[in-house]
Structure 1
Amino acid sequence: MSTSREGDRDRDEEGRARNARPRDGLGRPLPHGAAGVDRQPEGVVRTAAQSVAEAQALLDSGRPFHAHEVFEDAWKSGPESERGLWRALAQTAVGLTHAARGNATGGARLLRRGADGLVEWQGAGQGDAPAGLDTAGLVRWAQELAGEVERSAEAVDAAAVTPRLT
């Protein structure tokens, strides 16, 4: 993506707003010219197994914001019948991002929203989740972490509390 600066906004070739600032491991923008972590490319079409493997590697390395981007790609490019699943996974990753940034309220809220979206994938009507996802375990993890985040109100170490997706 090539960007140009128009006033204070980064824009792509079509004029759409794009934030070209580097980001840290939790997705927070850094000043222009600062060393950041590599961003996830947008719009990548992956198989369910590829999405899960890539997101797990990002979660394990303490980069839940970047994992959310992988889940978002799956949500937007996957089968309509799976979009709620990928959206819920993206919400849990964003919840973990907020919790790691020290935003207990937003973190807990998004973790619970993601857990609620995953409940329907615990076998009720939808069958097994793709790529061996452990939706029941992810629901438990998100609900428990939401409670811990609210009780402590302190930032969590994203890599230390990351879930096992399968």
Structure 2
Amino acid sequence: MDARDRDEEGRARSARPRDGLGRPLPYGAPGVERQPEGVVRSPQETRREAQRLLDAGMPFHAHEVFEDAWKSGPEEAAPLWRALAQLAVGLTHAARGNAVGGARLLLRGAAGVEGLDGGPYGVDVPGLVRWARELAGRVEQGGPAVDAAREAPRLGGGLQ
């Protein structure tokens, strides 16, 4: 018998609890409640929920919110949500101490949002690009440990 947790379709789904950065914890340990998958939100609700999670130091969970928007929203919005998910995962890796992966994903996400016209859904594109490149540079240089809540980006749109 397969010891991995599976969903109804047989896909692997870990039921282990996770910490705020999405790292698996031992079964039975208290963890952070996971984001439900497949939630359809408006762009404003997506931005608001993701910002709440980023501010709480939970970029892994914010990435899941962006991923839902990317997969359930209109095709023309997918590049925005995909790039924002990459930024959130980049912050996750940086906060976990993975400098190489963190910097790469931060720079990939910055390149993804930079190519978007204007600020879709009120997202502060220039601000996010600056934030991501600055953080990637610090992480690559071996700067101090990244605190995900303190380093959380501001998505824009008057949410601050």
Q: Taking structure 2 as the reference length, what is the TM-score of the superposition? A: 0.94
1:136 aligns with one of 126, 130, 135: 126
Describe the SS at the equivalent of 1:140: helix
Alignment match, 1:30: 25
Alignment match, 1:3: none
Alignment match, 1:116: 111
CA distance, structure 2, for counterparts of residue 150 and residue 140 of structure 1: 15
Alignment match, 1:79: 74
2:135 aligns with one of 129, 145, 162: 145
Number of matched pairs: 156
1:107 aligns with one of 98, 102, 109: 102
Alignment match, 1:164: 154
2:52 aligns with one of 57, 60, 64: 57
Q: Give how far 1:16 is off.
A: 1.9
Q: Which range is displaced more, 12-21 or 109-118?
A: 12-21
Q: How many percent identity over aligned positions?
A: 71
Offset from partner CA, 1:123-143 (integer Å, 9 cap, x none): 3xxx4411x110111011001
Describe the SS at the equivalent of 1:72: helix
Offset from partner CA, 1:84-129 (integer Å, 9 cap, x none): 11000000000000000000000000000000000112x3xxx441
Q: Taking structure 1 as the reference length, what is the TM-score of the superposition? A: 0.90
Q: What are structure 2's unaligned runs of at least 5 residues? A: none
Alignment match, 1:97: 92
In the TM superposition, 1:8-23 aligns within 5 A as 8-23=3-18
